[in-house]
Amino acid sequence: MENMISIQNVSFKYRTGEGMEDVLALDNVSFDVKKGDFVGIIGHNGSGKSTIAKLLNAIYFPLSGDVLISGMNTKDEENIWKIRQKAGMIFQNPDNQMVATIVEEDVAFGPENLGVPHADLRGRVDEALNMVGMYEYKDKKPHELSGGQKQRIAIAGILAMEPECIILDEPTAMLDPKGRVEVLNTIKRLNKEKNTTVVLITHYMDEIVDCDNIFIMNNGKLEYDGKPKDVFKQVEFLRKLRLEPPFATRVSYEMNKSGINIKDDVLTIDELAEEICQLKV
Amino acid sequence: MSVKGINLSHTYALHSIFAFDALKDINFEINDGEFIGIIGHTGSGKSTFIQHLNRLLSPTAGHVLLDGVDINGDGIMMKDVVKKVGVVFQYPEYQLFEDTIYKDIAFGAKNMGYEDIEGIVKESMELVGLDFEYYKDKAPFNLSGGQKRRVAIAGVLAMKPSVLILDEPASGLDPIGREEIFENIKTLHKKKNLTTILVSHSMNDISNIADRIMVFNEGKLEMFDETKNVFNNIKMLGNIGLDIPESKKLLLLLKERGFDVDTDLYKEDDVINEVVRVLKKG
Amino acid sequence: MLNDITIGQYYPTGSPIHKMDPRTKLMMTFLYVILLFFANNVYSFVFMFLLLSVAIKVSKVPLSYILRGIKTIVFIIMFTVVLNMFMTPGDNVLCQWGIFKLTTEGIYNAVKMAIRIVLLVCGTSLMTLVTSPISLTDGMENLMGKVPILKNYAHELAMMMSIALRFIPTLMEETNRIINAQKSRGADFESGNLIRRAKALIPVLVPLFLSAFQRAEDLALAMEARCYRGGENRTRLKELKYTYLDRYGYMISFFMIAGVVTLNVFGVYLL
């Protein structure tokens, strides 16, 4: 299948100030994301995962290597706006990405910038709001919404630009459990129903258990590229990268350690309970 | 220090059309040295409640007593209250304002009129695991999220409170940062015998740490009991829309499937040991 | 106190005034303010007062909302009243201390000034209560675009204004939060002289500014990510369109001018 995103030998440095050494934020990173996939990028703070987000959205440019979105290189200046339209971006703080004082006008902000004709705007905004289940809130003010709702509005704002891919940079870090579930369900539905490619950057492993593919970042390097199942069981490897595997995986790991042989790649407690039943038989 | 509430109620915008009952007739007693967890949805009254404990808000009816003394009583100054009850709000890094960590932590201590400021700052920094010599002259704004948060907590500890209230101390931190903060809070509670009140959305975090839990819902104190009993009241929690910790869920799933597990357990380590015990026996 | 600022607090009721084009409302408010300073006798003021009352009634905005705006400027009104009362030269001296003379003209002027300010604040508050901030800025952008000197800045200014309005509630909430946090650390905002109190604000202002800068940076990034590149080629979800309501608006405007001019001139005879 065609690649939505292709990162090829990318390195990136942050300038820290005069006389100080630049910090290598990304060190020769390469990976691809296929069209329609739901992928997770995970790593602790400072691992380079947020830098990737900004490279994908042509906010930063690679020091060396190339970032291709739908085959367009972010280095070509004439592509920038097309790239930003194709690969929309959601940020961490739900408050700091709402521009307008009324929900529906905020959703319209992106397509307005793209110069979408007035006649089409209403339809786009309504459809996007319906998609995230926030249509009834279209006349609300941002401060009347919960964190999770604000984040869904931000997603609607990107959807209204009709992107092929959505990149979310720790979208749930500032939300309560209810808000987290709302946002995660919304993006999962988008991926399934609209076949939108989703790149979810997070530091919660349990958010990405059912991803098609995950990328683990550590100190600017790509440490893992593959299926969640194959890596979540490597509890010690994950802990070395300062990541915490899901509860069920932790339990099965401890069980194995104390001499009970159980499948080590369980990701949820239901799965774990089933496996324990199998043992008894 | 014990904290007690008698018929505590709070109505915002009292006597107006916008009147809103945020707290409804709350009675409770927290004993000296206890570790209390507070759970409830956003808007359940949790944050209104904790603001009453250090007099940022005064009850529209009822009383809050610290060691038997009404904190809103005659002759009691705000300063007397905040000296005893330290509150660390959500995202406390936003309260940092001085150009060095030392000065910021000293702010509260100075306001309380303490003498040996340097000694207090040093002790507070040690309590949160920040090296005094290394950090004292650094600017707080260049630290990582978790470190900033610890500076903020030290700033509250420097007021030498007997009751420490923490509102979502780990929100926004990565898993390692979370773990570090909770480790810190645990040792603090042990070392200083601080009466500690922790507000958190995370059942897993609360379950590993609290002796008793207060459950808030729509301004009411729905339940206040030992952690074990609160988690056993699954029906009530479900009605409110609150979850139980995954560890407990696992035990319930196993029980359903005919395993003889003790479903009263909820701490992660206990649960793992229990599962191993039952399987080895069988 | 922070909750008393009504400017920028839209109060939707769906009244005909709400539905008017913001340009009409801006022009009418502009005219209303000018006429307030042009009005010179009791009859003109009563006329303006009646117009405002009708507008408030039609708008269905609760009176308490409009009056809240006055509460915040009580000091300014009092200051103006006192200044006018004692500093107006006049012949009919009621009493005198040194250079301060209380004259009937002074009292007359003071009352006039007070009424003017109250009507001014109520009128402009009403406009912000019945016009959503976004359509307000749209209206300003549109009107400014017609003025040659302002043309090039119209979009940028309007965008800045709308963002400021968007973040007022957020920053107010944040201010409250920081004040609470610092109070919990024993900060005292209430006692001491003016200098001490000003100093006591530093622990609030520094974090507030830092956070505002952070928000500005985040927002700029988010806007760029959503393809914002200035006003050129932008389309609008809500395009401004004059309707029959606006015709009434402009008719009322002429009525307003005619009324004030007539009463100003003939009011003298009525007295």
Kindly determine whether residue B87 and residue C174, on different chains, have CB atoms separated by under 8 Å: no
pLDDT bin (cut points 50, 70, 90) of residue C4 is very low
Mean pLDDT of B69-77: 92
Q: Where are the domains of chain A?
A: 3-245
At B202-238, the pLDDT tens digits run 888 898 899 999 999 999 999 999 999 999 999 999 9
For residue B259, what is the nearest residue in chain A, using CA coordinates? A277
Q: What is the 3-state secondary structure (H, E, C) of A77-141?
A: HHHHHHHHHHEEEECCCCHHHCCCCCHHHHHHHHHHHHCCCHHHHHHHHHHHHHHCCCHHHCCCC
Residue B100 has a pLDDT of 95
- The superfamily (CATH) of domain A3-245 is P-loop containing nucleotide triphosphate hydrolases (3.40.50.300)
Neighbours of chain B (3+ CB pairs under 8 A): A, C
Mean pLDDT estimate for chain A: 91
Touching partners of C (3+ C-beta pairs < 8 Å): A, B
Contact B112 C178 (CB under 8 A): no
C174-206 pLDDT, tens per residue? 999 999 999 999 998 887 788 888 888 999 999
C104 CA to centre of own chain: 31
More confident residue, B119 or C269: B119
Tell me what the mean pLDDT of segment A28-35 comes to.
Answer: 95
C218/A97 Cβ within 8 A? yes
Q: Are the C-beta atoms of B86 and B165 separated by less than 8 Å?
A: yes
| Set of chain A residues whose Cβ sits within 8 Å of the Cβ of C231 | none
Q: Is B187 on the interface with A (CB under 8 A)?
A: no
| pLDDT bucket at C237, cuts 50 / 70 / 90 | confident
Residue of B nearest to A247 (CA): B246
- Short-list A200, A203, A175, CA closest to A190: A200
Buried b (16+ CB within 10 A) or exposed e, A80-104: bebbbbbbbbbbbbbbbbbbbbbbb
Q: Chain B within 8 Å of A267 (Cβ-Cβ)? A: no
How far apart are the CA of C223 and the nearest CA of chain A, in angstroms?
7
B144 interface with A at CB cutoff 8 Å? yes
Q: Is A86 on the interface with B (CB under 8 A)?
A: no
Does residue A17 carry a pLDDT above 70? no
ipTM of the complex: 0.91
All domains in chain B, ordered by first residue: 33-60+67-242 (3.40.50.300), 245-282 (no CATH)
Interface test with A, best of C226, C229, C238 (most A CBs within 10 A): C226
pLDDT at C3: 46
Which residues in chain C have Cβ-Cβ distances shorter than 8 Å to B56? Answer: 180, 183-184
Q: Do C132 and A114 touch (CB under 8 A)?
A: no
Our CA-based measurement puts residue C95 at a distance from the nearest CA of chain B, in whole angstroms, of 44
Rounded CA gap, C106 and C92, in Å?
A: 9
Q: What is the 3-state secondary structure (H, E, C) of A59-83?
A: CCCCCEEEEEECCEECCCHHHHHHH
| CB hemisphere CA count around B239 (13 angstroms) | 9
Q: At what angle do helices C74-87 and C63-72 cross, to 10 degrees?
A: 60
B243 and A177: CB-CB below 8 Å?
A: yes
Residue B178: pLDDT above 90?
Answer: no
Q: Do the strands B163-167 and C100-103 form a parallel or antiparallel pair, or are they unpaired?
A: unpaired
Q: Are A250 and B268 within 8 A, CB to CB?
A: yes
Residues of A in contact with B246 (CB under 8 A): 247-248, 269
The packing angle between helices B175-192 and B145-157, to 10°, is 20
Q: What does the alpha-carbon distance between residue B226 and residue B232 come to, in Å, rounded to a whole number?
A: 10
A24-28, B55-59, C57-61, C236-240: range with lowest mean pLDDT: C236-240
Average pLDDT of span B180-201: 92
Using CB atoms, list chains with 3+ pairs below 8 Å to chain A: B, C
The more confident residue out of B82 and B174 is: B82
pLDDT confidence of B262, banded at 50, 70, 90?
very high
Q: Which residues of B touch C (CB under 8 A)?
A: 51, 54, 56, 78-79, 82-83, 86-87, 89, 92, 94-97, 107-108, 111-112, 141, 155-156, 159
- A23 CB within 8 Å of a chain B CB: no
Query: Is residue A181 less than 8 Å (CB to CB) from chain B?
Result: no
Q: What is the 8-class DSSP label of residue B263?
A: T
- Minimum-distance CB partner of C235 among A91, A117, A141: A117
- The verdict on a CB contact (< 8 Å) between B111 and C188 is yes
Q: A143 and C173 in contact by Cβ < 8 A?
A: yes
Give the model's confidence band at C128: pLDDT under 50 very low, under 70 low, under 90 confident, else very high: confident
Distance from C-alpha of A66 to C-alpha of A48, rounded to nearest angstrom: 16
Nearest to C126 by CA among C191, C185, C51: C51
Residue B257: count other Cβ atoms within 10 Å of its Cβ: 13
Q: How far apart are CA A182 and CA A158, in angstroms?
A: 17
* Non-local CB neighbours of C3 within 8 Å, separated by 6+ positions: C172
Q: How far apart are CA A279 and CA B257, in angstroms?
A: 12
Predicted pLDDT at C71 = 82
Nearest of A200, A208, A272 to residue A243 by alpha carbon: A208
Segment A36-53, tens digit of pLDDT: 999 999 998 888 998 999
Q: Which of A61-75, B156-170, C138-152 has the lowest mean pLDDT?
A: C138-152
Give the closest of A104, A139, A161 to C226, CB-based.
A161
Looking at residues B74-85, what average pLDDT do you find?
92
pLDDT of res. C1: 35
Residue C105, pLDDT above cutoff 60: yes
Q: Chain C residue closest to B54 (CA)?
A: C184
Amino acid C271: pLDDT: 57
Interchain CB distance below 8 Å, B54 and C185: no
**Winning range, highest mean pLDDT, from A155-159, B242-246, C58-62, C153-157:** A155-159
CB atoms near residue B41 (< 10 Å): 18
Asked if C225 lies within 8 A of A59 by C-beta distance, the reply is yes
Distance between CA C71 and CA C69 in Å, rounded? 6
Chain B residues lying within 8 Å of C184, measured CB to CB: 54, 56, 82, 86-87, 89, 156
Write down the pLDDT at residue A280. Answer: 66
Distances (CA, A) of C39 to C43, C103, C107, C166: 9, 21, 17, 35
More reliable by pLDDT, A130 or A231: A130
The per-residue pLDDT for C6 is 44
pLDDT of B20 above 50: yes
Q: What is the pLDDT of residue A1?
A: 64
Q: At CA A178, angle to CA A174 and CA A182, rounded to 5? A: 90
- Residue among B171, B174, B243 minimizing CB distance to A203: B174
Residue range B153-177: mean pLDDT, rounded:
92
What mean pLDDT comes out for the span B175-188?
Answer: 89
Percent with pLDDT over 90 in chain A: 69
The tokens describing C75, both together, are: 């000091």
Task: With beta carbons under 8 A apart, name residues in chain C contacting B141.
Answer: 210
The residue of B41, B181, B203, B272 whose CB has the most chain A CBs within 10 angstroms, and thus the best one to mutate to test that interface, is: B272
CB contact under 8 A, A99 and C163: yes
d(CA B31, CA B22): 25
Cβ-defined contact of C226 to A105 (cutoff 8 Å): no
Establish if A247 touches chain B: CB-CB under 8 angstroms.
yes
How far B257 CA lies from chain A's nearest CA (Å)?
7
C-beta separation of A280 from B254 below 8 A: no
Token reading at B136: 């004292």
Is residue B194 pLDDT above 60, yes or no?
yes
pLDDT at res. C2: 42
Instruction: Report the residue of B266, B275, B277, B281 to disrupt the A interface, i.e. the one with the largest count of A CBs within 10 Å.
Output: B275
For range B113-129, the mean pLDDT: 94
Contacts of B276 (CB under 8 A, 6+ apart): A254, A255, A258, A260
B204 to A247: CB separation less than 8 angstroms, yes or no: yes
| Per-residue pLDDT tens digits for B134-143 | 999 999 988 8
**Could you tell me how many residues make up chain C?**
271
Mean pLDDT rounded to a whole number for chain B: 92
> Is the pTM value of this prediction over 0.80?
yes
